[in-house]
Amino acid sequence: MGSHQTLKIYDMLGNEVATIVDEYREAGRYKVEFNVAQVSRPELSSGIYLYKLTVGNFSAIRKMMLIK
């Protein structure tokens, strides 16, 4: 059973930096790499960012560190 999934990156001010995943996917395990060169704002600096994963009705927000 699958569902629509989104994975978005935000800066510490809550501004959306990138959308990594925004599609329907079947249930399972997936691995996604965040490559700064692929986002529309490649001038991102090293620091703490937030990512939000939404799958169906489930949503989780976690911190991540970007090191250049």
3-state secondary structure of 37: helix
* The pLDDT of residue 27 is above 80: yes
Residues 41-68 have a mean pLDDT of: 90
Q: What is the rounded distance in angstroms from the CA atom of residue 11 to the CA atom of residue 52?
A: 11
Q: Report pTM.
A: 0.84
What is residue 40's predicted lDDT score, i.e. its pLDDT?
61
What is residue 41's predicted lDDT score, i.e. its pLDDT?
65
CB-based contact 20:8 (threshold 8 Å): yes
* The pLDDT of residue 2 is above 70: yes
Q: How confident is the model at residue 42 (pLDDT cuts 50, 70, 90)?
A: low
